[in-house]
Chain A
Amino acid sequence: MSAPVTASLRPGAPQAAEPAIRVRGLHKTFVIQHRQAGTLKRAVLNAFRRYPREVREVLRGIDLEIRQGETVALIGRNGSGKSTLLSLIARVYRPTAGAIEVHGPVAPLLELGAGFHPDLTGVENLELYGAILGMSRRQIAERLESIVSFAFDTPDLAEKIDIPLRNYSDGMKMRLGFSIAIHTDPDILIVDEVLAVGDEAFQNKCYRKIGELQHQGKTILFVSHDMHVVRQVATRVVWLHNGLIRMDDGVEEVVRAYVEAADRADFGQAPEPPTPAL
């Protein structure tokens, strides 16, 4: 396939690789009801009343192509649309306009251990969360041992897999969540600031695992505010600002520009996207 040379294609990314994620003309608008009806009672009593609404354009036309094997960091200040973009790619939101193509299975690590139940044991939660992330029962059974040993490296921790989750520390829950997500064997990993989990030893293990996945040619898209991590892991950085891509380039260039802008507190002209009241 002859790859079209687009603005987003940078040296460092393998030119021949197929696109893993392709985003075109993506807009996402949220309608915020400032005083919503909220209760059925109020909705019935004020059936004909119009509540003031605010339309917030969080993404205002994103074009982005990520090729297989790339590790792309999304950076930008709070409210710039990073998490919204990840949620759209993970198909939790639907785009207002534009198209998103995703090729291959995705592991959305937007929140670790979503759906864990405190009354169930570690194994039972593992089966549940694995199924939520799309693993079949057979796959879960096959990978069970590997998941447990990755999450809990010492035997005394591994024993806890059979006790209810309410007795776990937060760190242990995160370890289990990360281990399950990573074992779904995804082609594409979408990570939203969840890597800051566990103690240092476990974090190192996570980064080693991510390095392994990079070697296997997996595609990784992650959000981080930690420029140290971005420099260490990413092969390309996309800077999102007010719902638009401000810069999309090699790691050093973007990080340096971003840090300088942050130091000058110069995030450009418009403070917030326009918010017309309807």
Chain B
Amino acid sequence: MLNDLRELWKHRELLGILVRRDLKVRYKNSRLGFLWSIAPPLMQVACITFALKHATSFAADFPNYSAYVLVAMIPWTYFQTAILDSSQSLLLMYGVIKKVALPREIIPLSNAISNFIHFLLSWAVFFVYWWLFVRGPILPSTPLFLYLILVQFMLVTGLSLLVACLNVFYEDVKYIVSILMGLGLFVLPIIYVVEQPYYSATSFLKGWRFDLFMLNPLTSLITGYRKALLEPPPASVLGGNPLPLDYGNLAATGLLSLAVLAASYWYFNLRKWQFVERP
């Protein structure tokens, strides 16, 4: 694994060029390329807000509901697109890996990194929205934002390597992944906040089940982003006092993400020589 890392370091310029290529291709087709590529999650946020706040009464009393959805939608979109892009990446570059000797992990890595850069840029949209419509106080927990971004980068990059590798051998991996992604909108606290199931009288998520729910690294990250950037919604919406930031949970998520990255990188290197093994 150390040798693989050394080889990767030698090719860092190529990695940079591949990342730049990804971003160029993504933003190229229109002059408003960046805004165009950020439009789908914004439309989703707008529709969710309309459906749950204006068409039904679920979030009717939830002040600044869109901000809470947006702060979850940005990391969730990054997670989805990075992993789905990576699942295709090796097959798209199959011609290259079959003909040129280069560290093959560089291909899903460049994908994960360009999606990460896009993710960082996407936060600008949130901050503009925040400045225009929320303008709450800067919270003491805001610096946590940087930690969360780093942890999510490790998690997403690790899973990208794993999915990219599996998709070379099993052609249905990308379909399975996209189906799982479709569940995320409901399984993760995107349209709701974690206090709602926690306090709800009829909730299934009580006791150990709630702890299990919070162990999902994405649930933990989304909750972290929310608490780092926005003031908690009023107790009338939550059904009780806002839960405090759970530093133990966030530390566990960090360790888990690091483990996912290391294990995926190890597995990728184990199998990368079999990618083109065909006479």
Q: Which residues of A contact B (CB under 8 A)?
A: 30-32, 37-41, 43, 56, 58, 84, 87, 90-94, 108, 110-111, 114-115, 117, 119-120, 124, 127-128, 131-134, 136-137
Contact = CB atoms under 8 A, between A and B. Distances in A.
Contact of A120 (B25, B98, B99): B25
A58 B277 CA distance: 12
A158 to B, nearest CB: 22
B13 A92 contact: no
Interface stretch (B60-68, B165-173, B186-194): B165-173
Contact of B13 (A37, A84, A124, A136): A136
Given A39-B171, A119-B29, A120-B24, A127 B17 contact: yes
Contacts of B171: 38-39
5 contacts: A40-B172, A40-B176, A56-B279, A58-B279, A108-B99
B18 A128 contact: yes
Interface in B81-112: 93, 95-102
Tell me the interface secondary structure of chain B in the complex. Answer: helix
A168 B228 CA distance: 51
A132 B21 contact: no
Contacts of A124: 21, 24
B21 A128 contact: yes
Contacts of B17: 127-128, 131, 137
Contact of A37 (B95, B96, B170): B170
Given A114-B100, A115-B100, 4 more contacts: A39-B172, A40-B166, A40-B172, A92-B276
B13 A30 contact: no
Nearest to B15: A131
Contacts of B204: none
Contacts of A128: 17-18, 21
Contacts of A37: 170
A138 B14 CA distance: 12
B278 interface: yes
Contact of B98 (A92, A117, A119): A92
B28 interface: yes
Nearest to A83: B279
A115 B17 CA distance: 12
A77 to B, nearest CB: 15
Interface size band for B? 20 to 34
B273 interface: yes
B247 to A, nearest CB: 37
A39 B98 contact: no
Given A40-B170, A128-B18, A111 B95 contact: yes
Contact of A119 (B28, B99, B172, B277): B28
- Scoring A40, A56, A91 by chain B CB atoms within 10 A of each residue's CB, the highest score goes to A40
B273 A94 contact: yes
A83 to B, nearest CB: 9
Contacts of A131: 13-14, 17-18
- Scoring B17, B99, B172, B273 by chain A CB atoms within 10 A of each residue's CB, the highest score goes to B99
A84 B278 CA distance: 10
A180 to B, nearest CB: 12
Nearest to B28: A119
B279 A32 contact: yes
B188 to A, nearest CB: 23
A91 B18 CA distance: 21
A131 B102 CA distance: 10
B98 to A, nearest CB: 6
A32 to B, nearest CB: 7
Nearest to B173: A40
A132 B279 contact: no
Nearest to A38: B171
B13 A137 contact: yes
A231 B18 CA distance: 41
A133 B100 contact: yes
